[in-house]
Structure 1
Amino acid sequence: MKYKYKVLIVDEDENILYDIKKLLEQETYVVETTQSAMEAFEKVKKDKYHIVLVDTDFHEMNGIELLKEIKRYDALTQVIMMSGHSTMEKILNSLEYGANDYILKPFRSMDHVIGVIDYSVQKLERWRKSIIEIVK
């Protein structure tokens, strides 16, 4: 991966933030974290994040609402939803509103998390190559 992808992780659980951040930084991603959905949206408005991992459950704003706002602001941002309290409705709503994927917590393995993120990177790479070809 030559291009440095910027990732934002949004979860109220400090351990989740720490574990995923540590893992992604070892993979050479640029990573930021926040425990607040509102702060996450402010960050997305101020800076470009290629991938955003969002927990579905927050006290201040529903994760699905954050997903909608992120996609409304930048449709190309790859949003991966995460939840420890999943329902079929949450999963389907997430996909309907543009989530790239959905990860159940507790995670099967951190390799699974990396695999989901790598899939999003592959999608971004295809977009980047297409845009470069068009611009040529």
Structure 2
Amino acid sequence: MNEKHTILHIDDDPAILRLVAQRLGDEGYEVISCGDPDAIESVLHASNARVCLLDIAMPHADGLELLKEIKRYDGGVQVIMLTGLVSMNSVLDSLRNGAEALHFKPILDFEPLLEILADSFRKTERWRKTLEELRQRRAQTALA
């Protein structure tokens, strides 16, 4: 990775937050850990993170509802759902609501998650370039 990519990680389990922050930090990512799902919008805004790891099942929050909230706030944020709930419904509901991918916990092997993250950041970079090209084309049109 050439530059520091920021990931917002929302989970109610402090041990998972620490593990993921440590492991992804070792890979060069900047991880902002958030144990309070109610703070998600303010933390997302303050961090300007383009990729979010989000737990589905939390005692005081529904990850699928938070996914919808994130997508309403900024549809360009790539959300990767994390869950220990291995069910077809959790996979389908996540994808239907705009999740980039779903990864199962416990995270014993980080390689698949690292691949998902790399793909997510490539996708955000493609969108950034497209928006920049659009901005340049509009500027050129305005000058003509």
Relative to the length of structure 1, the TM-score reads 0.89
Structure 2 unpaired stretches of 5+: 137-144
Structure 1 unpaired stretches of 5+: none
Residue 87 of structure 1 corresponds to 87
Distance 2:129 2:3 in 1: 12
Q: What is the aligned length?
A: 136
Residue 36 of structure 1 corresponds to 36
The Cα shift of 1:44 comes to: 2.0
Distance 1:3 1:134 in 2: 24
Match of 1:65, as an amino acid?
E
CA contact (8 A) 1:68 1:97 kept: yes
CA contact (8 A) 1:49 1:77 kept: yes
Relative to the length of structure 2, the TM-score reads 0.85
Deviations 1:59-86 (A, max 9, x none): 1110000000000001000100010013
| Shift in alpha-carbon separation, 1:53–1:123, aligned structure 2, 3 A | same
Residue 126 of structure 1 corresponds to 126
Distance 2:18 2:87 in 1: 26
Residue 140 of structure 2 corresponds to none
Structure 1 residue ranges (4+ consecutive) displaced by more than 4 angstroms after TM superposition: none
Residue 68 of structure 1 corresponds to 68
RMSD between aligned alpha carbons?
1.6
Match of 2:111, as an amino acid?
D
Q: Look up the SS of the partner of 1:127 in the other structure.
A: helix
Q: Identity of counterpart residues, as a percentage?
A: 33
Rg: which structure is higher? 2
CA contact (8 A) 1:81 1:94 kept: yes
